[in-house]
Chain A
């Protein structure tokens, strides 16, 4: 008898998939460039807990010169964030975070947030139950 088990394991890298071009509110690809990932570490200066999107502002020092740039980080809606366990006071001015996301297409120092990690606790915020949602 031939080998009864034919095993094929496919990974995400091999999958042909088409990303949805629309976010809950607007076109993602019109505002951000998925091919330009960015990682930013800095201290929170402001949070806009508003619809249709919440925004996080962070001061990011340049690693070489130390010059500080204020970045604007777009997240989902307050409703979506609330359902992931966020509150509008979860992050406070002065908290240091690391944000991973994509660069804005049409505006300098704009990115979105795919993940937000608090430096003090190492916790990934609002990422779902299995990733330590607050």
Chain B
């Protein structure tokens, strides 16, 4: 056996050299490695490399054993990042990773627990994510032929969030929120924290021909999206979650929401302020049984100098269920945070 191995080595080296020459000629290299958390390999982690000089973005997804490979990278300096995964792991950034033509840079990414690792606060995100990785099949359809978005979805955050651009007064409000560690977030007082679909928990979609209902484990626990052709009411009182109507654009459900009050904080832990002029557009597409593509656009001329966008891919969690969560039952946060 040893002899066989010895015989193979020159062949392997030859093949390796050929590969390197080919890459060297085209001026590209690669970054390979493994993504781990304190609980083990992280599957399906989105890994991004940003080429510093051109701004080009290259993406890869880790395998079941946590391995990733960013291929065909033009030689240069890269910033490699992995976003927060649910509330389970904190974001990772490694700047100035050098990629040389014809070479492989090895980068092992050890994610640390997010949300400071409080037991139960991550809702077992990584464990559940791993459990349903192999859900495969064709997206179901309703009787009218439209895609059926029903299911319990394990939501996720945008792996590549762009920094929001705020008008100066709104920016001051936002900076103050961040400087006080989001202490006054409505969620901490059992109020609806965020109308956007950006909280990394479960969302249950109950999809009928004329109505889509979203159920979730935080205030106010539901949203109604009317699919029966009605328009927004002309002069409705502003509300925390606004008024939502949906229309189809091919196989994509486009949900339009207006009529917000200005009390909620947007994109959950981002804590963005907004005015009553907020206009939210969500696009939901189910490319297969196990995934939901969620594209979010927030327009508010009283807050943003350009729309804020987020792009998420949610995963079906068919064995999970939305559970009761009555926040006012025993909320000690205001007292323990020294607010009252």
| Interface residue ranges, A against B (CB under 8 Å) | 1, 4-12, 14-32, 34, 48, 50-55, 74-84, 86, 101-102, 104-107, 110, 112-116, 125-131, 133
Tell me whether A31 and B119 are in contact (CB under 8 A). Answer: no
Tell me whether A126 and B109 are in contact (CB under 8 A). Answer: no
Tell me whether B123 and A83 are in contact (CB under 8 A). Answer: yes
Cβ-based interface call for B98 (8 A): yes
B residues in contact with A104, CB < 8 Å: 336
Question: Mind listing 16 A-B residue pairs with CB under 8 Å?
Answer: A6-B106, A8-B106, A10-B108, A10-B110, A16-B95, A17-B92, A19-B115, A23-B118, A24-B115, A26-B333, A79-B325, A81-B119, A83-B128, A83-B320, A114-B118, A127-B39
A residues in contact with B104, CB < 8 Å: 4-6
Encode contact with A along B107-131: 1 for CB under 8 Å, 0 otherwise.
1111111111111111110111010
Cβ-based interface call for B182 (8 A): yes
| Interface residue ranges, B against A (CB under 8 Å) | 16-17, 20, 38-40, 84, 87, 90-95, 97-98, 100, 102-124, 126-128, 130, 178, 180-183, 185, 187-188, 190, 201, 217-218, 268-269, 271, 320, 323-327, 329-333, 335-338
Tell me whether A77 and B121 are in contact (CB under 8 A). Answer: yes
The distance in angstroms between the C-alpha atoms of A83 and B181, with both chains bound, is 27
Q: How far is the CB of B132 from chain A (nearest CB, A)?
A: 13
Could you tell me the dominant secondary structure of chain A's interface residues? loop
User: Assuming A20-B114, A22-B182, A31-B333, is B325 touching A76 (CB within 8 A)?
Assistant: no
Tell me whether B39 and A106 are in contact (CB under 8 A). Answer: no
B residues in contact with A82, CB < 8 Å: 323
Q: Give the number of residue pairs across the A-B interface with Cβ within 8 Å.
A: 227
The distance in angstroms between the C-alpha atoms of A27 and B333, with both chains bound, is 9
B residues in contact with A131, CB < 8 Å: 38-39
Tell me whether B120 and A81 are in contact (CB under 8 A). Answer: yes
Contact with B119, one of A26, A52, A75 (Cβ below 8 angstroms)? A75
Tell me whether A25 and B327 are in contact (CB under 8 A). Answer: yes
A residues in contact with B105, CB < 8 Å: 6-8
Residue of B nearest to A107 (CB): B336
The distance in angstroms between the C-alpha atoms of A81 and B123, with both chains bound, is 7
Contact with A15, one of B92, B120, B187, B326 (Cβ below 8 angstroms)? B92
